[in-house]
Amino acid sequence: MAYLVEFTSRAERDFIVLFDEIRAAESDSALKWRRGLRASVLSLEEMPDRRPMTRESADLRHLLYGRKPHIYRVIYRVFEKQKRVEVLHIRHGARQDFSEPDLD
């Protein structure tokens, strides 16, 4: 059974900022990359537990997308009983570890 993938308002903001940062509106390759990121996130509807837990919290998992030096971490939580994946945050992989306030 497929999981429902939902984005928090923080994750949606992260997508908007990323769109602006990579200038996806002006570049076909950047737009293609961003669409690939979104497709990768939405693929979590099938087997979201296949991705590793984060080092910051055993309750969260992360998906890595891209190639060095442009790797992004998608931080998410799985709710097994509800068959739901909640995408919390999207950040550049080179950034420092996150804390709970980063997820608001």
Q: What is the CATH number for 62?
A: 3.30.2310.20
> Quick check: 93 and 18 in contact, CB under 8 A?
no
pLDDT confidence of residue 103: 61
Q: The domain containing residue 32 runs over which residues?
A: 4-95
Asked whether residue 104 is domain-assigned, the answer is no
pLDDT of residue 95: 65
Element (H, E) at 40: helix 28-42
pLDDT per residue as tens digits for the range 13-32: 988 888 777 776 788 887 88
pLDDT of residue 99: 66
pTM: 0.84
What integer pLDDT is reported at residue 65 of this predicted model? 93
The radius of gyration of the chain's CA atoms, rounded to the nearest angstrom, is: 13
Provide the pLDDT confidence category of residue 44 given band limits of 50, 70 and 90: very high
